[in-house]
A and B are shown apart, each in its own frame.
Chain A
Amino acid sequence: MSHHPTITLRNLLPAVFADERQCHADSDIWLRDTVEFMQSTHYLIKAASGKGKSSLCAYLYGDRTDYTGNITVNGIDVSNLSTDRLVDLRRKHIAYLPQDLGLFPTLTALENIRLKNNLTSHKTDDEILGMLDTVGMAGLVDRPVAKLSLGQQQRVAIVRAMCQPFDILLLDEPVSHLDSNANLAVSRLIEKEASANNATLIVTSVGNDLALSRPVIMQL
């Protein structure tokens, strides 16, 4: 079965690194002629803090365009999309977990997830509760997010991110606050969902890696 690239990067470099190009000569991503992320393949991008992991995620999600080079997602340049096309890309093609999670503290865990699922109608309530159960959050679904620990919030945000159809699942340090058991449970769920969608999985890590089975490891 042949896979096609879902994301292609060409000579990509954050604008902020423009004056220190030689420092990124060893990067598998920055300043490479062409970097392709293939369908149904799982990538673990590892880097020390400050190397631009979150910037890369924001570029791929169309949130920021402060870079040189070129990014195409499913063949389309994401730097200059119209509002309608960017919203469509976010609802149907790229699922994203930002590092700051983007949860609403006054809403409960389940309400936070429904807020997105109401938009996409991708999962049933039972499926959502099943996913939360898988990551050990079954008893906390009705608790306001403000009263959850960071690790619990991370799991809620991961489940929410997957409540949509996607070709690309983009997770920015998804398990930075999880112990190894929770990491394993989350990893199984993420891999299952990514496989079900034949998606490209891109996960960044600053040290605590998501426990993926056979990831392609890249250094930033």
Chain B
Amino acid sequence: MVSKLLRSNINRMQIAAYTISNIVGLIITGLALQFYRDVAPDSEQGLQDPAGNARYTILSHLASPSFTRDAGNEISQAEVNEIIDQPWAEDASTLTTAGFDISVSLDMGGRGFSTALFFEGVPRDYLDISPSEWTFDPARPIIPIILPRQYLALYNFGFAPARGLPVLDERTISMIPLNVTVSGNGKAEMFRGKIVGFSSRLNTIAVPDGFVTWGNERFSPTGQTACKRVIVKLRDPGNPTITDYLRSHNLEEADNNGSARLLHFVKIVAASVAAVGILICLLSLGLLILSVFLLLQKSRPTLAALMAIGYHPRQLVALYIKGVAMMNLGILLISSGGIYIISRLWQSKLSALGMDCSSVYPTIISITLLLITLTMLSAISIRHNVMDIWAKKRPYSA
């Protein structure tokens, strides 16, 4: 009966406006969140970027046809410093190129395997894995090596089946002893090599830069360390001026990092849309609090009369909070259904592209938490307003 009494003061237009705006806000927030999670899933599949590889890129001068050993496309320290000074760059370092001949051989079950290779020296800070040792000590010469993950895939799915060789996993291949022969400048020396990991960031055969510098001094005909590539840690991978800068400085990206950067851009867009959704939710919360305030002002004589015949302000607060909670539960059900149905539309397309999409339930849990927060804020506002009426019912109280 009290509910009936209080309901008579409700403005249906205000409630409808709150309901619709909150549903729209929650659906936008939820869809943006779901899209963000779909294009950047936590799993090992899809357009994933767990190591933040979109924030790294390797640059070199545009290759020009040349038949000489040194094409003259080295990157100077001044150029590196200029790159670091760019607003989109956080840090940069040269990859030191080995100016000597390298041959690696290994023995797999009696079948020998030998190939010429190249090494580039990479500072530890730019690795996407954390090998226990990433130093070179001439006194205890074991060379830690990091291979691109694509190389292993190429071996396992291309080379090994064709040659009848065993398929290897990362753990196994790390245990295979390598013999590294370094030669040049009239000298040759053999070292032990150990594969310490696989990188999805570096499209090169990486060794500690200390080894390359040491090797160049001994085996390179010039004794100098040449730097032809620079690895850049990006502050803002989605910055469109990067492309302009590279073009004007005759630089190119070693890997096709465009898709990773596009992904980063898409994620920024999705996050921005989510922020707009949350803003709409907050505005609808403001609308609800204003509606509740107006409703309570309109119901003031009724509430005062109820308190005068013995109703506790807490009972009346509970009635309003129950009403808001029921309304928000309805909003949650409608919004969740909307998010589920709409996200299916793009998830089916992504699945057709072979991408695994994220479950929609964590998104629904997130908007549930958001709505619980909104409900609690409304409850605080309701309590404040009702207690205000109780206090002003006795305007001369101390």
> What distance in Å separates the Cβ of A1 from its nearest Cβ neighbour in chain B?
30
In the complex, A96 Cα to B394 Cα: how many Å? 16
- Whether A119 pairs with B398 at a CB distance below 8 angstroms is no
Please tell me if the beta carbons of B302 and A104 are within 8 angstroms of each other in the complex.
Answer: yes
User: Is B5 an interface residue when CB atoms closer than 8 A count as contact?
Assistant: yes
Give the complex CA separation of A66 and B396 in angstroms. Answer: 5
Q: Find out whether the CB atom of B1 lies under 8 angstroms from the CB atom of A118.
A: yes
| In the assembled complex, A107 has its CB within 8 A of some CB on chain B | yes
Q: Size of chain B's interface in residues, with CB distance under 8 A?
A: 21
Q: B309 contacts A119, CB within 8 Å?
A: yes
Known: A83-B312, A119-B311. A106 touches B5 (CB 8 A): yes
| Candidates B2, B314, B390, B397; contact of A115 at CB < 8 Å | B2
Within A46-75, which residues are at the interface with B (CB < 8 Å)? 62-66
- Choose among A107, A115, A118 the residue with the greatest number of B CB atoms under 10 Å from its CB: A115
Q: Does A114 contact B (CB under 8 A)?
A: yes
**Residues of B with C-beta under 8 A to A107:** 1, 5
Q: Give per-residue flags for A88-130: 1 if the beta carbon is below 8 A from chain B beta carbons, else 0.
A: 0011000010100011101100010011101110000000000
What's the Cα separation between A33 and B350 when bound, in Å?
A: 88
B313 x A83 contact (CB < 8 A) = yes
Question: Closest residue of chain B to A80, judged by CB?
Answer: B398
B390 to chain A: which residues have CB within 8 Å?
83
Q: Which secondary structure characterizes the binding site on chain A?
A: helix
| B130 within 8 A of partner (CB) | no
Whether B312 pairs with A104 at a CB distance below 8 angstroms is: no
Max count, chain A CB within 10 A of own CB: residue among B393, B394, B395: B394
B26 → chain A closest CB, angstroms: 35
How long is the Cα–Cα vector from A96 to B305 in the complex, in angstroms?
A: 12
Which residues of chain A come closer than 8 Å to B302, judged between CB atoms? 104
In the complex, chain B residues 58-86 whose Cβ is within 8 Å of any chain A Cβ? none
Chain A residues, Cβ within 8 Å of B395 = 64, 66
Q: Determine whether A160 belongs to the interface, using a CB cutoff of 8 Å to chain B.
A: yes
Judged by a CB distance under 8 angstroms, whether A153 is at the interface is no
For residue B186, CB closer than 8 A to chain A, the reply is no
Are A104 and B5 also in contact (CB < 8 A) when A64-B396, A65-B396, A66-B396 are? yes
CA distance A106 to B9 in the complex (A): 11
A160 x B309 contact (CB < 8 A): yes
Contact between chains at B310 and A104 (CB < 8 Å): no
Residue from B5, B309, B396 having most chain A Cβ neighbours under 10 A? B309
Closest 4 CB pairs of A and B: A66-B396, A91-B310, A102-B305, A90-B310
